[in-house]
Structure 1
């Protein structure tokens, strides 16, 4: 960057509140900290202005563009006297402000959510005591009254299975005959389109950056109304080096997240939010390939609904669905989730647990709930609950983003462990004050939270007991035969068989809605696929005790097809900056 000499009074004082010609570099002559403190460094960053020097009886304020009326009002309230404005580059302005705001922003990024609604209040010692108590109680019950203990276990399994199956069936019925209406896209030339911020957290994603920019450039949204924010960690040299070799478009910026006490995606999102300007905030992952008209549909839907609709959730699908059997089952599972279960939950009036990508939020909604919980490793599902608790509604939109299915056994288990660990922590935080949760959600949605979070964990954890009823179905002796009546065993086996039938039916319905009806033929493979989740849930519960805030990174680009990794055409942009 070229360093310019500081302006003289004659250069700056050119009339009341005018912008001086030329560009100035605040790193050459640092700001007067007394002036900056009057406004506040965080407010200066928010408004894109910086009180710089007192020259010729006026306070010179640096800005990258003519300041808004809101920024002028804040400067006047700060008591800075007569103002004169001088132009500097956005990079220079941010570089000058960062040393003053970085510690504050980092602290707020890690503790933005109120303590009573955050996982950071989770203590390992109480959790360990609870786990030991449960294990000892279970062992004593089995030793003293094995028949009663096994009967209670079977009853619990049956209850969990029935409740989860009933919810899945109700969601499927609620969506029948009501195909989601696609909102008409707004005109790309519309003058009133809002600025949309796209947050893309990147961690060790160097090989994915070029293809990501190519895919996002295909979005049919005016680029002057886009604010793409590529978020990288300070010690992620792989991704930062890749960004320095690419010419970023003018509508993109790089935000470097300083090292802190933890490293999670929600912490990075919280930090980057301070540097954004859009009234709508969207989130994508590095491997995402959104539909070109997706942002136009999001903007049109937000314009059509009221301000209490704080979030829109798009549909996720996979571009590597045929990589192997895991990818096929993953695609079938996600089709069931995004095309049947979530739309059904929306129409039933229940809390919608969000996905971590293709997620769009009104800025006032995400700020009202305090951003993301930096300590929650399943920040999306937690955010869905907190939005509902504050009275915001989440809607599903029929716009698809393709991404890469995690199709290797051990990485799949690690990823699912993270999700289920977050479910456990999210449920624990929500139930910290059950009475308050009941008041804020109401009885119907309160029960829904129990089924969605606790029911999911319980069903995966108790799945081995349920699988044992295949023995009864095939006429083989069951290990619990000495303690349970034959009719009871037969009844439990029929409940299990009915549940599997509902799962297959929902999968077939979802595959048809996804335009891949042949995928339903892979539904029997779910009997091999879902046991991986049982391994994951027990691993997740162990991690809740050992490392509740550890984020296990999922590597992308393993199964991406050539078309998804195509390099972008040469843009006409500025060089990338990682400062």
Structure 2
């Protein structure tokens, strides 16, 4: 078995501390057992050599029974390191060993050697032992990962079991009941090897689940079949009809197209302006609610006590947080994201970072291992498969997630340090509200703000930053609380892990899996919230790469609209009129406006340049409406986006909002490419390169 098919949980061992140089005998009893704590886990031939270093007899009383005591007695850590780990365990929760490994004081393999000694269960390496897969029939990989033990084989009437958790009497009773045996031979296995074994044994089942699980369970919500036959035929027939109309009856055809273009652009711009202009009211509302909460806290404190802020969630009450980092051909930036995540203000013992790398991406795999990631970072190798997309990789990582909350960060992301804590507070507030009798939909996801650290690099990055600032700083917060479905961004969306699994995870056949998942969450009765904590990314600085990236995004919106409009009445019943407004005004309206934008641009230019000399018998009211729609729509968008971009980045960025009409031309190019790909290559993923520019100064 190789580690290219399954999670690589310790690709680059953490360097051992200076204290980890061998035993320091403290008694005759320990001197007898010292070799058992320090010997190599494998023999000269590479086979497991358990008997050489793990006892089968009870430990002598003189040897400390606690894990920390054994580690200190064996010279693996110092007393000072143990004291720090004990304090971290007291304040943050968790086991002492977890904190020692998270701080880099000891390597996980050394810890489990000692645990094997303490548990009197030989350490096993399942890379050298075959797991009897017949015993696992009817047991899913998720159950095996959750329970912490796996049956290895039968030896007569004895079952060999490997465990990564302490083999307590209760656990052994659970194993006997589940497997129908009385006699057990217990072995110890490291978390890394445990996940390797599960990934190997369940490889085919995992690949099916992460690729086709949603499509099999909810085919009407999956883009495996991107367009139904009628959805493929309709746009082609419409184009043919327009061409024939322009030849046989040009004036009526142009009038009809202009009416449709006005409706599409007007609806899209109006929707976005409504959401953006609602944002100031949301700010006022949240400030009022915050003041009210503080007054209530002050009243509860008593007349003689000073007012205090609402309590902060203590470290020991914070949940384990899984971070998924999908990366493909990102060798030049993968080390940076590992460094960025190390800056998060969150207990390292409660971080579960999975760097998701494709099996054939050997350069990024090598770069990730060379970065020497800390112990809480696991390198997960995603097996080859089709489609080779980001959502498929995320589904694979979700299978191995340990956290009760999970978030996606892209390879170039730099989240603000307190982001995880703020999102934990959002989920806690939602649970408290519903426990107090609130009737709102359960919160499944919190979308944090995205923005660009290289906004000032060139004109394109400035326009990209202006667009993102309006989207994440105004529009999405403005939609929050309206009941209109919120489309997710491709990163920094934080999920309740079990709710995400109930939703079916991400659709690997949808190239904007984020927007799709936001709509699916709404249709299934969940709610998406927003948080102003920002994740900084790298804006695409090259026009060709930008068009490819935007093509994928618009194509995903088209496919998401097509999937949800398969059964519009059913969608309406599930989400209500506001859901239909969001689907029509945003998911469908955005690509429609981009596709039809050149018509209104051409009408406006022709009218202003040539007057009314072009004889197409266009009614004057339609010309006036088109010009007003174009000028007022663009003007309002310029003003709103300039204001919010100036607040975020300064006026030297905000002033570029006047170029929005030209920026939309690029969107139109991408939209027509997207329409073509939607018909002929719906699952094709055009990769966005990163690391093309250094961080730009916003004020330059």
TM-score for both structures, normalised by structure 2 = 0.75
1:252 equivalent to 2:377? Answer yes
Structure 1: distance between partners of 2:615 and 2:172: 75
The runs of 5 or more residues in structure 1 that have no matched partner are: 564-579
The match for 1:566 is none
Q: Kindly state the Cα deviation for residue 368 of structure 1 after the two structures are TM-superposed.
A: 1.2
1:454 equivalent to 2:588? Answer yes
The match for 2:644 is 510
Q: Kindly state the Cα deviation for residue 366 of structure 1 after the two structures are TM-superposed.
A: 0.7
The match for 2:240 is 136
Please give the per-residue CA displacement for 1:536-579, whole angstroms capped at 9, x wherever unaligned: 0100111112211011111101113399xxxxxxxxxxxxxxxx
The match for 1:97 is 198
Q: Kindly state the Cα deviation for residue 31 of structure 1 after the two structures are TM-superposed.
A: 2.8
Q: Kindly state the Cα deviation for residue 79 of structure 1 after the two structures are TM-superposed.
A: 2.7
Structure 1: distance between partners of 2:171 and 2:656: 57
TM-score for both structures, normalised by structure 1 = 0.90
Q: Kindly state the Cα deviation for residue 71 of structure 1 after the two structures are TM-superposed.
A: 10
Alignment partner of 2:274 out of 165, 170, 186: 170
Q: Is the 8 A contact 2:133 2:201 kept in 1?
A: no
Select the structure of larger CA radius of gyration: 2
Please give the per-residue CA displacement for 1:510-542, whole angstroms capped at 9, x wherever unaligned: 214425344221111222211111000100111
Structure 1: distance between partners of 2:184 and 2:547: 59
Range moving further from structure 2, 31-40 or 340-349: 31-40
Q: Kindly state the Cα deviation for residue 354 of structure 1 after the two structures are TM-superposed.
A: 0.4
> For the structure 1 residues 38 and 358, does the alpha-carbon distance in structure 2 shift closer, same or farther, using more than 3 Å as the test?
closer
Map 1:366-515 to 2 at 5 A.
Answer: 366-471=500-605, 474=608, 476-478=610-612, 481-515=615-649
Q: Kindly state the Cα deviation for residue 458 of structure 1 after the two structures are TM-superposed.
A: 1.1
Q: Is the 8 A contact 1:319 1:402 kept in 2?
A: yes
Q: Is the 8 A contact 2:275 2:474 kept in 1?
A: yes
The match for 2:658 is 524
Structure 2: distance between partners of 1:332 and 1:276: 35
User: How many residues are matched?
Assistant: 560
> For the structure 1 residues 351 and 12, does the alpha-carbon distance in structure 2 shift closer, same or farther, using more than 3 Å as the test?
farther
Higher-RCO chain (CA-CA 8 Å, sequence separation at least 6): 1
Q: Kindly state the Cα deviation for residue 385 of structure 1 after the two structures are TM-superposed.
A: 0.3
Q: Kindly state the Cα deviation for residue 339 of structure 1 after the two structures are TM-superposed.
A: 1.0
The match for 1:23 is 123
Q: Kindly state the Cα deviation for residue 144 of structure 1 after the two structures are TM-superposed.
A: 3.5
The match for 2:166 is 66
Structure 2: distance between partners of 1:74 and 1:383: 37
1:79 equivalent to 2:173? Answer no
> For the structure 1 residues 166 and 59, does the alpha-carbon distance in structure 2 shift closer, same or farther, using more than 3 Å as the test?
same
Q: Is the 8 A contact 1:127 1:545 kept in 2?
A: no
Range moving further from structure 2, 208-217 or 188-197: 188-197
> For the structure 1 residues 81 and 540, does the alpha-carbon distance in structure 2 shift closer, same or farther, using more than 3 Å as the test?
farther
Structure 2: distance between partners of 1:70 and 1:146: 79
Range moving further from structure 2, 31-40 or 388-397: 31-40
The match for 1:273 is 398
Range moving further from structure 2, 436-445 or 276-285: 436-445
> For the structure 1 residues 262 and 487, does the alpha-carbon distance in structure 2 shift closer, same or farther, using more than 3 Å as the test?
closer
Q: Is the 8 A contact 1:46 1:275 kept in 2?
A: no
The runs of 5 or more residues in structure 2 that have no matched partner are: 1-40, 60-117, 291-308, 435-441
The match for 2:68 is none
> For the structure 1 residues 550 and 13, does the alpha-carbon distance in structure 2 shift closer, same or farther, using more than 3 Å as the test?
farther
Pairwise CA RMSD of aligned residues?
Answer: 2.8
Q: Kindly state the Cα deviation for residue 119 of structure 1 after the two structures are TM-superposed.
A: 0.6
The match for 1:119 is 223
The match for 1:361 is 495
Structure 1: distance between partners of 2:454 and 2:378: 29
1:324 equivalent to 2:368? Answer no
> For the structure 1 residues 474 and 141, does the alpha-carbon distance in structure 2 shift closer, same or farther, using more than 3 Å as the test?
closer
> For the structure 1 residues 480 and 51, does the alpha-carbon distance in structure 2 shift closer, same or farther, using more than 3 Å as the test?
farther
1:192 equivalent to 2:314? Answer no
Structure 2: distance between partners of 1:243 and 1:505: 44
Q: Kindly state the Cα deviation for residue 355 of structure 1 after the two structures are TM-superposed.
A: 0.1
Structure 1: distance between partners of 2:269 and 2:572: 24
Please give the per-residue CA displacement for 1:103-145, whole angstroms capped at 9, x wherever unaligned: 1100111112121111102358655533431222222333333
Structure 2: distance between partners of 1:514 and 1:265: 30
Map 1:292-331 to 2 at 5 A.
Answer: 292-306=417-431, 308-331=442-465
Structure 2: distance between partners of 1:342 and 1:360: 15
The match for 1:148 is 252
Q: Is the 8 A contact 2:455 2:465 kept in 1?
A: yes
